[in-house]
A and B are shown apart, each in its own frame.
Chain A
Amino acid sequence: MKNESNHLRRILVITLVLSIAADLLYWFLVGPHVPPGTMTTSAHDDQFDFNILMVIALPVLIGVWVFLGYTIANWSSKRANVPEPQGGPAARSNMKAQVLWITITTVVVLFLAGFGIVELWIGNGSGGGEGPNPVWEPAGAAQAETAALTSAASWAPGKVLVVQVIAQQWKFTYRYPQFGGFETQDLILPNNTTVAFNVTSLDVIHSFWAYQLEVKADANPQENNVAFTTTKQLGNFTVRCSELCGIWHGAMFDYGKVESPTNFSSWATTTESANAANTADLPAFAWTYVPDANGAAGGFYPDGTVTPYSSVEVYGAKQAAS
């Protein structure tokens, strides 16, 4: 019996020492550099979550590895003086060990689930797609979203910026309803601003992944998928499609930029007036658009008529026939 507690004590002590060392090293040396960084609130929060999970995971990994290592080192049949194992009821089950194991794993799992739910809640969806009617949203988002559909929509620093992300094979375009609903291939955002991304698709399922912003939301045809984040740093970021969308999926990426609110305002108003003629040809700003029967958006029948399947807005149908 004494021997037994010695084995367990040794395994426990080695695990504890290694775990504390690994956790400290991880938290201070690796944690702050874990992707996606701290460019937005969701990036910062999700990085924190990742690090918390890692601090819990490392002792689990180390515990099992130490146990396996200890087993291999001490109880290999090739070693001299390994005692013959004992069978019988004592080796078949141990109520204390079983209850302890189940209790510990249950407590850890329930803690993780609770922690995840709280973080998802206070993080307003943590930058992930929340569907058309988000359960958690930042202050001012609902008003900004409602206003976006009216012609009176406008933006000033401090307000929530509404951006529509339109995915199609194989690129992203962006509409800014608070600036007349112009559409552009450039994703420019103001710093220190809460952004409501409204993600939709014109053809197949895509996924809008603004990597450094820690925003990821699937783009489904005729669905609006809303994700929130608040920008905290100036700089460039990458946008990639993270849902397989056909042969050029791998080439579906571009770059965006977080600018100062002043620079953003001047870019947006300039683009709004420069694109005014194009904007007039676009369908009215809406959360989703019905593509025509040709499949991809912007497609239209040469005579400009509405296609048989689309009784409502037809994306691109207003364009003149070439």
Chain B
Amino acid sequence: MTISAERPTKSVASSTSPPSPHQGVSWTQRPGWLSQHMGTAIIAAVLGYAFGHWLGNYITSGYPYIANSGQNSSANALALIFAVVGWLLGIGALNYPLAKLVGKEADHETSVEGWSKYFRYTLDHKVVGLQYVVGVLLFLFTGGLLAMAIRTELLSPTTHVFGPGTYIEIVSEHGTIMMMMATSIILGPLGNYFVPLMIGSRRMAFPRIEAFSFWIFIAGYGVIFSALPYGGFPTGWTGYAPLQTQAGPGMISYLLGFAVIGLGMMAAGFNIAATIINNRAPGMTWSRVPIFVWAILSTAALLTLATPTLFAAGLFGVLDKTVQTAFYVTEHGGSSYLWENLFWFFGHPEVYIMALPGFGIVAEILPVFTRKPLFAYKVAAAGMIGVALLSFFVWQHHLFQSGINPDMRPLFMLTTELISIPTGFIFLVGMGTLYKAKIRFEVPMLFAMAVFFNFLIGGVTGVFLSDVPVNVTVHGGFFVLSHFHYTIMGGLLFAFMAGLYYWLPKMTGRMMNKKLGQWHFWTMFVFFNLTFFPMFIIGLLGQPRRVFTYAKNLQVLNDFSSISAFLLGFSFLIFFANLMWSMYIKPVKAPANPWDSLGLEWQTANPVPVYNFERIPVIMTDPYHYSEAGAPALADFGVGGSDDRVSSSGKSDK
């Protein structure tokens, strides 16, 4: 007897199951047009937008220069706020809290069968995880297209494809949408899907908050692109004031966009942290928690603690632009430094929000493909916590040349360089695990190895940036740009791809095509490096960021980088083709445990039943006992499931 796909899902509703958040019938789940789904959300959002816009123009009608001018920030702000509220009402996110608010017994959201559950406010963490996969890929591909546009403009120092206004609009949207994507790209899809499975939980701590975090994340996509009819925003993703204050109403979309995404980040972080702390199965002690879960926990802590600053800073910006407060207006008593300070106080922890999940995936995957235990597990966990803590003490290294707190520069130089110690732990862990291993270079492993290569370059150049004298040379130029693409794209995105190739078979029951996967990896790896490495040199040779003209002698390097970038874009088409081919066109059924992993998430049935585990497993040890004769069993699954585990040699016991 195994925990297998054949097991009827009904059995999960046995007497051992806890009371369900999914039980009962809700009008949100009525069939057809009467129910609430993405379609009703879109309609409600459009109505909300129209109402808010009308209201904004009505309120400001006493100001003839503003009302109905197409330059009315108040109208845009109210339109977006009402649109988001409409979106949440339309999807059904507010049914439960509103019913409770008026003292009624709230309907429980049930699980709908079939594909339509992916377009609804669904509380199953596995559905939310898959929703997030599509969501982050939408962000990623949009941002990627914008990147192609940037590199097209930079083909020539003098001939322009776009006007300067359009160019800066593209640059700003690219940066913002990519940053928004990067906050959630691992935590959203893989964190939501796998954390409960890895810690032996049947559900998230707050399933409604989880579903909320996804749907508001998608609302953020609409909000940030609502800037386009207003001519975008000219500030880049950093949104510096007073340029922000000077900008048109498109700026509101940026400020509220980050506020909306910020709400999602806080919700997701809070929910995941609470889940990991409270919902671990018996025996899942802190020293047995999979390393990926440690990474997600430290990320969740950063999301919960750092994002409120961004939210507040954005709110101040909206107030400055609508009701004429002066948080960032120097001549009215505000300060142009205030935004920089607040933004980076959030922004640097944010950098590690984007790095830690990647470390987690790599460390989780390495033992599987090396058939060795994770080396220095405790050092890895300590490193992640160390990075998370220190990340709150480094933000002013973004402002070394700004004139702010100049006598604090030595301190911030020190703290920034100190953070490379816990960051370096991940290399110790990786190298220790690879040492004398027997490595299977499957596609996820290729991506994981690439993370070490890329992130090393990103990390080492980070030390150059943290050195104040060298920072004078490289600050604000293409060197920085290349550095953070090496960490975020070379680290996080490669790790995401590793995780996706690794876990998609579990999520969908279908294998990704290996040949196409290898083509995807090699084109992405080679052209990523060919795109971004020249940018270090371009930066050293004096090209500032976000320019559409540059020195003639830099054209060869820029063209080289641009052509590589187009080919890098092509590699994503291979990925997309692989995804379509393997998931829809010619799906190949995935084995229950294709990589012979010892992880708890692979020991559940395929497809994973709504309740994940028929009985809550009792965890006996950590999941890294590879190649260990006589290793203890990972967990006691109770009656019926204990003989389905993979032995330490990687072969099924049966």
Contacts and interface: CB of A to CB of B under 8 A. Distances in A.
A94 to B, nearest CB: 7
Given A61-B457, A112-B417, A244-B240, A132 B476 contact: no
B467 A112 contact: yes
Nearest to B244: A204
B235 A105 contact: no
Given A61-B457, A214-B472, A77 B372 contact: no
Nearest to A64: B456
B437 A50 contact: no
A245 B476 CA distance: 12
A64 B370 CA distance: 18
Contacts of B542: 35-36, 211, 238, 240
B414 interface: yes
Contact of A246 (B234, B421, B549, B551): B234
Nearest to A67: B431
Given A98-B379, A218-B402, A290-B331, A36 B242 contact: no
Interface stretch (A248-256, A258-266, A269-277): A248-256
Contact of B544 (A134, A222, A241): A241
A225 B421 contact: no
B299 to A, nearest CB: 23
Contacts of B399: 218
Interface in A268-305: 290-291, 295
B472 A128 contact: yes
A231 to B, nearest CB: 16
Interface residues of B, number: 97
B277 interface: no
B496 interface: no
Interface in B429-469: 431-432, 434-441, 449, 452-453, 456-457, 460, 463-464, 466-469
Contacts of A117: 410, 413-414
A14 to B, nearest CB: 15
A94 B424 CA distance: 16
Contacts of A7: 435-436
A141 to B, nearest CB: 14
B434 A71 contact: yes
Contacts of A126: 468-469, 472
Contacts of B243: 204-205, 244-246
A67 to B, nearest CB: 5
Contact of A65 (B165, B414, B453): B453
Interface stretch (A20-28, A80-88, A151-159, A173-181): A80-88
B627 A85 contact: yes
B8 interface: no
Contacts of B434: 67-68, 71, 75
Given A223-B403, A291-B331, A242 B436 contact: no
Given A87-B373, A92-B373, A120-B468, A109 B246 contact: no
Interface string B595-611: 00000000000000000
Contacts of B401: 128-129, 207, 216-218
Contacts of B548: 250-251
Nearest to B406: A131
A92 B439 contact: no
Contacts of B428: 97-98, 101
Contacts of B456: 60-61, 64-65
A242 B476 contact: yes
A25 B627 CA distance: 44
B302 interface: no
Interface stretch (A41-49, A160-168, A183-191): A41-49
Interface in B458-507: 460, 463-464, 466-473, 475-477
19 contacts: A35-B473, A57-B463, A75-B370, A85-B371, A87-B372, A87-B631, A91-B373, A93-B379, A102-B379, A117-B413, A128-B401, A131-B404, A134-B406, A199-B403, A220-B336, A222-B336, A242-B475, A242-B544, A251-B549
Interface of B: 164-165, 167-168, 234-236, 238, 240, 242-243, 246, 330-332, 336-337, 340, 370-379, 399-407, 409-410, 413-414, 417-418, 420-421, 424-425, 427-428, 431-432, 434-441, 449, 452-453, 456-457, 460, 463-464, 466-473, 475-477, 540-542, 544-551, 624-629, 631, 648
Top-8 shortest CB links A-B: A87-B628, A225-B403, A242-B476, A250-B547, A126-B469, A87-B627, A131-B406, A131-B403
